[in-house]
Structures are given as C-alpha cells and as structure tokens.
A = this chain, B = another copy of it.
C-alpha cells in the first residue's frame, strides 16, 4: 500500500525532503503543510531584496529557471500535495496522526502519516522589551516584513534605523539600508564584539571598522531596554547607555528553534529547545524525522550539541531525509560550522571554532593571523587577505579558521579547503601546511596564504616567533611611556618615514636592510623590542636577524600595518 508521508513546514527543508522522497518513491502520498501563505522561498536572500539588488520578491520564490514555487507548482511538477495556511497543532504518535487547523476557517482535521517530517524552522528572538509591537519594528525573516521595510525605504520614510543584533542577518540588513538607501544605521549588540561566536575579537574589530568607515554606529556590550513610539510608530530605541532616534527597528538577535510541537509530542528536545536527531535525522521516534532550523546538530570538532540555522544546512539535510523516507539509511555528517558574510568593502568567512570559543570548549588554543596577498604577489590585481588559524598548542590539531578579504570568492576558497578537511578528517598544522590547493599565479601563491598561516602557527607554537595582534601592538604603543618598548618599523623608508616624523625618537624607522647593514648595533639590548612592517614578513626576517645577533626579547606584529589599519587603530 502507498505510504503516507507528511511534512510539517514548507520553507527550505520541508519541500526538499518532500520532493526527494516523491522522486524516489513515486507511489507515496506526500503532503506538506505550512501555516503561512508563502512557501519554499530563499529567506537568506531577504537582505538583498531589502537593498534592491533583487528587484522582485518573487525571485526568492522562483526556481533557477524562473518558475514560482507555489502549491500548484509542487502539485503539478513534483507530485507533492501542499496545504498552505494550515497549522500543525499536535502530533498523536500512537495513532500516527497530526491534528491540523486551517488558519483562515479555523477548521481542524487529523492527517494520518506513516512517516512524518518536522521542519518547523525557527523564530526570531525578540527581546522582551516594551514597544516591540510598534509599527516600524520588524525581524527580517519573512517575505512580508522585507516588503514592508523596502516600501518604507522607497517612500523615504526611514532616515534612521536601529538594528538589534550584530550577527549575519543584522549586519546584512545594515549594509542593505546604509549602502543602498543611505539610511543612518546604528547596531546594538549585547556581546562585546560584532559577529560574536564566529569571529575572534581581533577579526571582529576589522568588521566593525568596515562598518564604521561607512557611517554605521556600532554599540557593543550594550542592551536595548525599550522602544518608544509616537502615534503607534516607533521613534526611539532606548539602550542601557543612550537613546537612538529611529523610524525603523530590526530585531536580528538570533533564532529560537520551533521545537514545541515536537516536545509536546514527547520527542527528545535539547535544553535550548531544538529537536534532537540521530545521524539519520530521526527524532527519538524513528518514524518521525526532523531537520533544518528546528534541530540540534553534533559539532564535529567539539563532539557536543550545537545549533546551526542556515539555509544550506537545511537543504542538504532535506535531501538526506527525503532519501531515508524512501528507505535509504543515509547519514548526515557532524557539522563544522562554515559561514560567510559580505559587509561593505570586506567579506568574512569562517569554519570551526574561534580562538575564544575553542578555549571555552577546553582546548589549549591559540589563534595565529597572517596578512598575505590572495594570489602571486607579482600578479596584478591581487588583494590582501587576513587568515586566522585556531589550533591546539600542544597537539597542533586545527580547530578553525576565519578570514577577511575584499575578494570574497578568494577568501571562500581558503576557508572551504580547510572546511572539507575539518569535516572528514582531523587535521594538524602540518596537514594544512601541506594542503594541496589549486595553484597558478592568477589564483594563489606558490606558498599560498592558507599554507603560510599554518607555517606561521607552527613557528609560533615552537617559540620561534612571539606574535602580538594588531590590537595588542596598538596597546603596547599606547602604553609606550610605561613599558619602555623599543619600536622598530622594518618597512623601507618610504613606508616608515611619515610615522617616524610624527613620533620622533619613539617610532624607529629601521628597515630590514638597515638592520642587516649594521644598524642592528643601534637596537638596545636592555629593552623589549616590538617589530612591525607592512604584513609581518620583513618583521619576521628582522626578528631572525636580531636573534642571530643575540637580541631575543622581540615581539612581531602579526599582519603588520595592514592588520593595524583594518582594525582601525591609529598610530
């Protein structure tokens, strides 16, 4: 007899699982219910609709061949029955039925299933503050909200906006509003940095500088207390530190997995509300699958439960669930947490743990960052790339990598290369030193930046180099009266002269060539030395030269002036 497959939720995972199952098992009755009007849309594209880069919101609901994915499409083209505006109220696991309600008519009925898929997604986390019901307050997770925000921008009703939360969607919305509509944006983030959890404090400083350079006010370690309105329309955001005028407020403070339906049905749910699944994406009831933004996943590196609400994860999980509904036993592998976000001038990508998270997870970890061109340094049109590698200092196990570059695809290439290895192996620094990435001068350096960052980490861990980050270097400089550090700018004089002139007797322009040509004698032996150059390379050669002449109390500014500038530090 034909099986009844019922899918609850129709945004990303639900349709994928339903269609895949129906393709493999054409005789099955596959039904999908969703409480909303619109289904199967690219929610990740909403910030680009907000900005106007995507002109028509229907593009987010269309196949690559420009057919709108509505109920009729799934029925006719895929053989999947779709019921929109139909809310799943409860699951009767003993009877294998789901009670659903038509949200328009209120009519309720029970739908039988042999296999059930829960793809209920997540809801935006709305802080419990007064005024969130005011007009002009949104979260960018549904098509309708994005349409309203864009209309308000087009009508010139928004000159100031406050974005609450500096994660991916928050910052993508900021870029859309500031870059495309000239809206004056403020970002309020409760953590002590933007992009918390995915970028180190050092790289987050670069992201913040990119935002601030484009007129965005960034307030970290700050909490929204209330929203104030005028005539029902939001007018001001009150934080624990200031009041910000705003005609538009976007809540982008993360997501809460929609696990209540599963929990109420007695399925295992993680403490933070996400549904627990095994490697086959089955819940604690083997006839019920779950996936996407409503489930808890296993992190490959920590071995612990994690949460990763991303459209790409949902799509891949949906295919695995679709196969398994049709009788396969495919496994969805533990995750490593890749991500990417494009801000103003700079793109950011990452995988695995940041140095701060690695330490919280109990690793004796360090982060080592380099600046190097993204292709052969002699090739025209190369771009400076920052890569930070996170590894365990003793075992040399690689725990993560994050990066910054103008060239987003080039950065993605380095992170994805490491991501694949992290996902399916347990690489050490030496493995990344020898990572065999595509090479030709228009694509990479012969010793590519992704290899170099592992080489440098190995040198640092072996004690051959004492690095300081751009922020640490700036701090050393700020406290130069107290710490008695001797600063050497090892760049050629054309590079170092302006700062040497600005800080006579403090900023010492002694190029690598000078040092090698005898000026090593001018370097004091009774003071700590801090070396800096453009990217860190000359400083390293200088440090080795000093070491050969008995000067060992030397730190090297990782990433050099390039990193200092990206971090927005003034010397």
Q: Which residues of B contact A42 (CB under 8 A)?
A: 376, 378, 441, 446
The 0/1 profile, CB within 8 Å of B marked 1, for residues 434-472 of chain A is 111111111111111001000100000000100000000
- Interface positions, chain A 343-380, Cβ under 8 Å from B, are 347, 349-351, 372-374, 376-380
Contact B340 A439 (CB under 8 A): yes
Known: A54-B379, A421-B423. A430 touches B330 (CB 8 A): yes
Contact A439 B338 (CB under 8 A): yes
Q: Which residues of B contact A377 (CB under 8 A)?
A: 64
Looking at A65, A77, A337, the one whose CB has the most chain B CB atoms below 10 A away is A65
- Interface positions, chain A 32-56, Cβ under 8 Å from B, are 42, 44-45, 48, 53-54
Q: How many angstroms between the C-alpha atoms of A439 and B349 in the bound complex? A: 9
| Nearest CB of chain B from residue A197's CB, rounded to whole Å | 16
A208 sits at the interface (CB 8 A): no
A394 sits at the interface (CB 8 A): no
Known: A417-B419, A421-B424, A440-B340. A373 touches B311 (CB 8 A): no
| Nearest CB of chain B from residue A536's CB, rounded to whole Å | 10
Contact B438 A339 (CB under 8 A): yes
Contact B434 A316 (CB under 8 A): yes
Task: Name the residue on B nearest A317 (C-beta).
Answer: B434
Contact A79 B548 (CB under 8 A): yes
| Nearest CB of chain B from residue A27's CB, rounded to whole Å | 10
Known: A44-B440, A67-B513, A339-B440. A315 touches B419 (CB 8 A): no
Contact A419 B407 (CB under 8 A): no
A63 sits at the interface (CB 8 A): yes
Known: A67-B513, A424-B431, A444-B340. A379 touches B311 (CB 8 A): no
- Interface positions, chain A 380-420, Cβ under 8 Å from B, are 380, 407-410, 412-420
A312 sits at the interface (CB 8 A): yes
A204 sits at the interface (CB 8 A): no
Contact A349 B438 (CB under 8 A): yes
Task: Name the residue on B nearest A542 (C-beta).
Answer: B77
Q: Which residues of B contact A409 (CB under 8 A)?
A: 374, 407, 409-410, 412-413, 443
* Residue in B23, B420, B538 whose beta carbon sits within 8 Å of that of A418 in the complex: B420
The 0/1 profile, CB within 8 Å of B marked 1, for residues 514-536 of chain A is 00100000000000000001110
A283 sits at the interface (CB 8 A): no
Q: Which residues of B contact A63 (CB under 8 A)?
A: 537
Contact A538 B316 (CB under 8 A): no
A66 sits at the interface (CB 8 A): yes
Contact A379 B440 (CB under 8 A): no
Contact A438 B424 (CB under 8 A): no
A127 sits at the interface (CB 8 A): no
- Interface positions, chain A 145-201, Cβ under 8 Å from B, are 168, 172
| Nearest CB of chain B from residue A431's CB, rounded to whole Å | 6
Contact B433 A541 (CB under 8 A): no
| Nearest CB of chain B from residue A184's CB, rounded to whole Å | 24
Q: Which residues of B contact A320 (CB under 8 A)?
A: 434
Q: How many angstroms between the C-alpha atoms of A439 and B26 in the bound complex? A: 31
Q: Which residues of B contact A77 (CB under 8 A)?
A: 512, 516, 541, 545
* Residue in B65, B372, B412 whose beta carbon sits within 8 Å of that of A537 in the complex: B65
Q: How many angstroms between the C-alpha atoms of A48 and B423 in the bound complex? A: 37
A333 sits at the interface (CB 8 A): yes
* Residue in B416, B424, B440, B538 whose beta carbon sits within 8 Å of that of A65 in the complex: B538
Task: Name the residue on B nearest A545 (C-beta).
Answer: B77
Q: Which residues of B contact A446 (CB under 8 A)?
A: 12, 42, 44, 311-312, 314-315
Contact A447 B412 (CB under 8 A): no
| Nearest CB of chain B from residue A350's CB, rounded to whole Å | 8
Contact B417 A380 (CB under 8 A): no
A87 sits at the interface (CB 8 A): no
A-B contact pairs, 8 of them (CB 8 A): A53-B379, A65-B533, A168-B440, A316-B447, A347-B443, A349-B438, A413-B416, A416-B416
Binding site for B on A (CB under 8 A): 12, 16, 23-24, 26, 42, 44-45, 48, 53-54, 59-60, 62-67, 76-77, 79, 168, 172, 310-316, 319-320, 330-333, 335-342, 347, 349-351, 372-374, 376-380, 407-410, 412-421, 423-425, 427, 430-431, 433-448, 451, 455, 464, 491-492, 512-513, 516, 533-535, 537-538, 541, 544-545, 547-548
